[in-house]
Amino acid sequence: MRALDTIPPEPPPEIAFHRRVSLLGSVVDLVRSYEMVTTLTERELRIRYKQAILGVAWALLQPITLVLTFTFFIGRTIPSDDLGMHNVPYALFNVVGLIPWTFFASAVGVGGLSLLQNLQLVNKISCPREVFPLAMVGVAVVDTIVSMVAVIALFASKQTAPHLLGVVWAVPLILLELMFTAGVTLTVSALIVHVRDIRQVLPVVLQMGIVATPVIWSFSKLTRVWQIGYSVVNPLGPVIDAWRSTILLGRAPDLTTLALATVTSLLWLLGGFRIFKRLEASFADLL
Amino acid sequence: MRTSSDIIPSRGGVRLGAVQGDRLWKRFRADLRKPFLIDRIEYVRDRVKGDTSGAYRWALRDVDFTIAPGEAVGLIGANGAGKSTLLKIIAGVMYPNAGRLRVGGRIGALIEVRAGLHSDLTGRENIFLYGTLLGLKRKRVAQVFDQIVEFAQIESAVDRQVKFYSTGMQLRLGFGVAAYLEPDILLVDEVLAVGDSAFQQRCLERMRQVLADGTTLLFVSHDLATMEATCARGMWLRDGALAQDGPVREVLGSYREWVEQFAETLESGDGPVRVAKVDVHGPNGGAPHSYEPLYVDLALESDAARDLALFIGVSEGPATPIFVARGAQRVKPGTTMARCAIDHVPLAAGRFYLWVAAFEPGTVATDLVPWHPARAFEVIGPQLEDTPRAVVRLSPVQVEHHWDFEAV
């Protein structure tokens, strides 16, 4: 039997455990756990779209009511010249900004809480924990695809065809937004475990975001200095502006602000992943 | 075959099925339940002031062990001694604060009732999800799927969400998933106690099969008899430190002795009747022997003349008595000496508890002295024959018997 009083009160510092996390290794683990992500995403979607017709209707309800409200109250009070949009109907101007914003907001809003909501799994099985927030980003992707129905219907009702340039730019713009969204979702979901108050603050911030992001107003109307500054803080500004230029006007997007947005998004993604991996080791202790 | 070292890069480096803990330390924040901004601020303030006292509690202290592939290890210890924490660290759910852990191979873990089940997913989805987490191919999971469903007895509920399962169903599915998906190391927490006895027997049966296949088993239980019958090696955690590590009988012996220290100090209260002295002995005053007479001497103090119904019982651990004996007597105020004689005590060698209670007879019996373990005693005698592992629980009672064999 061991004499228990010979144990020092604290571990000697030389044996302290340092979790080595390499970015590449983590990504490999994550790719191997893709089935976990798909299962969680699938599950969430199945609950949401259980009744096929109604499910889709609910997914469309939010963007449609928002576009109608904005168009009715704001569209008729702002002269379309002030949007720098020539004769593009306000509803189209609005929906092109609303969809990227809604994607971001729902991914962060649901994904941010995903660790708290899955604590029974986080607590008991060993897997890369980022599968939980990333699965919710996946859900937001599907929701956004479904809401395309509303976008198409709006374009049809205004008898306007989107410009093909938008299709060309779709891939980089979507990637850009995915990087930013994933980075923010990872950061929020990890921090929320340590500081639960974020749970109360998050909806407020997201509510502010719909006004602070150029959903109802035009990014191109900002002064150049403001545009540059804004792009560093919120990459969604230049992204939405780029969608509007390409789809609605058939013009090439502003590459300067877009480049800044890319840098910011990349920093969010890498930083968010790092923060997440740093805090991951203590999740099970705190949940 | 994929191993968990792929899932957690810093693990691995040992043989498949081996677990090696090297000076493991784990601490928890004392204010676990308050992860709010204000607590962070207070914490930082305390740190700035240089006051870190009381901020942490060490749940594991310098735990050092090596488990070879295929070993069956029982983990014992009082509540809060760090057993579950150690399991969680081995399972890769938690990380130690200091030390090194190396684990070889896939881990199936049944930690708390729901194990790793997701309550929003159906039974079927959970089985596949857990399988893929362990790194099994979907095809392989499909092959054992029916066995798991059959073991868990959830045939009709397999496509229902787990949150609608009863506790028993969740437990069965949790164990089935952990024990059938080909783990190299199986961790079983004390949750088995929640299941009914038929289920417990099936779990033990499955654990034996898994052991026979060469899987390493780490088993936490308060059911010492089951542990003795299942595990060859025992590890006793006390206040987060590994107090003893060795053959299961030795470790359980020391553990029981340690537990008894507290049992013996139990007071019989200061009600109207007190048990002032308890003595258990053989004919010549020493320890009793198997099959020989055993005497229980009690000194009873009563404040008034009253009718007493007196009970004594013998148990092996802090559990159900093996037998009880009842006596009735009208006592006078003051001290009464009572002796209960058992002519042939059917107990095998080992340590036992003597329990005592006294009631006032009547339509509703009144507790004068509540049923409590009054003292521990040793019985000297031949060791019991070893029973096959986990088939029968080791029995504390030995009865006089003889066999007749006749060829027909």
Residue length, chain B? 408
Residue A80 near residue A90 (C-beta atoms within 8 A): yes
**From the list A8, A35, A195, which residue is nearest B35 (CB)?**
A195
CA end-to-end distance (rounded Å), chain B: 54
Of B26-40, B56-70, B369-383, which gets the smallest average pLDDT?
Answer: B26-40
> Which two tokens mark A110?
């649901």
**From the list B28, B117, B242, which residue is nearest A285 (CB)?**
B28
Instruction: Report how far residue B69's alpha carbon sits from residue B72's, in angstroms, rounded to the nearest whole number.
Output: 9
- How does the average pLDDT of chain B come out, rounded? 81
- Does pLDDT of B102 surpass 80? yes
Q: What is the pLDDT of residue A180?
A: 97
Interface test with B, best of A5, A14, A15 (most B CBs within 10 A): A15
Interface confidence, given as ipTM, is 0.79
Which residue in B182, B105, B110, B200 sits closest to B145, CA to CA?
A: B182
- Does pLDDT of B385 surpass 60? no
Instruction: Report how far residue A134's alpha carbon sits from residue A44's, in angstroms, rounded to the nearest whole number.
Output: 12
Q: What is the pLDDT of residue A225?
A: 94
- If pLDDT is split at 50, 70 and 90, which confidence band does B33 have? low
Q: What is the mean pLDDT of residues A105-111?
A: 95
Looking at the DSSP bridge assignments, the partners of residue B101 are B21
Which residue numbers of A have CB closer than 8 Å to B's CBs?
1-2, 4, 7-8, 11-12, 15-17, 19-20, 22, 25, 29, 32-33, 35-36, 39, 43, 47, 118, 120-121, 123-128, 193-197, 281-282, 284-286
Give the 3-state secondary structure of residue B216.
strand
Give A37-87 pLDDT, tens digit per residue.
Answer: 888 888 788 777 776 677 778 778 888 899 999 988 888 887 766 677 777
- In sequence order, which residues have a C-beta less than 8 Å from that of residue A111 and are 6 or more positions away? A132, A133, A134, A135, A136, A137, A140, A185, A188, A189
- Does pLDDT of B398 surpass 70? yes
**DSSP symbols for B146-200:** HHHHHHHT-GGGTTSBGGGS-HHHHHHHHHHHHHHS--SEEEE-GGGGGS-HHHH
Give A188-201 pLDDT, tens digit per residue.
Answer: 999 999 888 899 99
Q: What is the pLDDT of residue B264?
A: 55
Looking at the DSSP bridge assignments, the partners of residue B378 are B351
B23 chain-A contacts, CB cut-off 8 A = 11, 15
Architecture of domain B4-106+183-260: 3-Layer(aba) Sandwich (3.40)
| Residue B125, CA distances (Å) to A27, A32, A127, A244, B80 in order | 25, 18, 17, 42, 34
Q: What is the mean pLDDT of residues A252-259?
A: 94
**From the list A4, A118, A197, which residue is nearest B37 (CB)?**
A197
Per CATH, B4-106+183-260 and B269-379 having the same topology is answered no
**A126-136 as b/e, with b when 16 or more CB fall inside 10 Å?**
bbbbbbbbbbb
Which residue in A254, A182, A186, A251 sits closest to A214, CA to CA?
A: A254
Give the 3-state secondary structure of residue B208.
helix
- If pLDDT is split at 50, 70 and 90, which confidence band does B125 have? confident
Are A124 and B111 an interchain contact pair (Cβ–Cβ within 8 Å)? yes
Give A111-166 pLDDT, tens digit per residue.
Answer: 999 998 888 778 777 788 899 999 999 999 999 998 998 899 999 998 888 888 98
- If pLDDT is split at 50, 70 and 90, which confidence band does B363 have? low
Interface test with A, best of B11, B25, B114, B245 (most A CBs within 10 A): B25
Q: What is the mean pLDDT of residues B59-72?
A: 91
Instruction: Report how far residue B262's alpha carbon sits from residue A214's, in angstroms, rounded to the nearest whole number.
Output: 70
Higher pLDDT, B45 or A245: A245
- Does pLDDT of A235 surpass 90? yes
B120 chain-A contacts, CB cut-off 8 A = 43, 47
Which residue in B82, B95, B102, B88 sits closest to B242, CA to CA?
A: B82
Interface test with B, best of A2, A36, A125 (most B CBs within 10 A): A125
φ/ψ of A282, rounded to 5, equals -100, 0
Q: What is the pLDDT of residue B94?
A: 87
Q: What is the mean pLDDT of residues B58-76?
A: 91
- Does pLDDT of B396 surpass 80? no
Q: What is the pLDDT of residue A9?
A: 81
Give A3-34 pLDDT, tens digit per residue.
Answer: 677 788 888 888 888 777 777 888 888 887 88
Instruction: Report how far residue A53's alpha carbon sits from residue A57's, in angstroms, rounded to the nearest whole number.
Output: 6
Top CATH class of B269-379 equals: mainly beta
Distance from CA of B262 to the nearest CA of A (A): 19
Residue B281 near residue B379 (C-beta atoms within 8 A): no
Instruction: Report how far residue B131's alpha carbon sits from residue B145's, in angstroms, rounded to the nearest whole number.
Output: 10
- If pLDDT is split at 50, 70 and 90, which confidence band does B9 have? very low
Give B281-337 pLDDT, tens digit per residue.
Answer: 988 888 888 888 999 999 888 888 888 888 899 987 666 788 899 888 888 888 889
A43 chain-B contacts, CB cut-off 8 A = 118, 120-121, 125
Domain ranges within chain B, ordered by starting residue: 4-106+183-260, 269-379
Instruction: Report how far residue B388's alpha carbon sits from residue B8's, in angstroms, rounded to the nearest whole number.
Output: 38
The nearest alpha carbon in chain B to A37 belongs to B129
Are A194 and B40 an interchain contact pair (Cβ–Cβ within 8 Å)? yes
> Which two tokens mark A30?
């994550």
Burial bucket for residue B180 (CB in 10 Å: 0-12, 13-18, 19+) = buried
- Does pLDDT of B2 surpass 50? no
Give the 3-state secondary structure of residue B299.
strand
- Does pLDDT of B384 surpass 70? no
Give B147-156 pLDDT, tens digit per residue.
Answer: 999 998 888 8
Q: What is the mean pLDDT of residues B6-26?
A: 72
Residue length, chain A? 287
Q: What is the pLDDT of residue A239?
A: 96
Instruction: Report how far residue A107's alpha carbon sits from residue A178's, in angstroms, rounded to the nearest whole number.
Output: 10
Q: How many CB pairs under 8 A join A and B?
A: 126
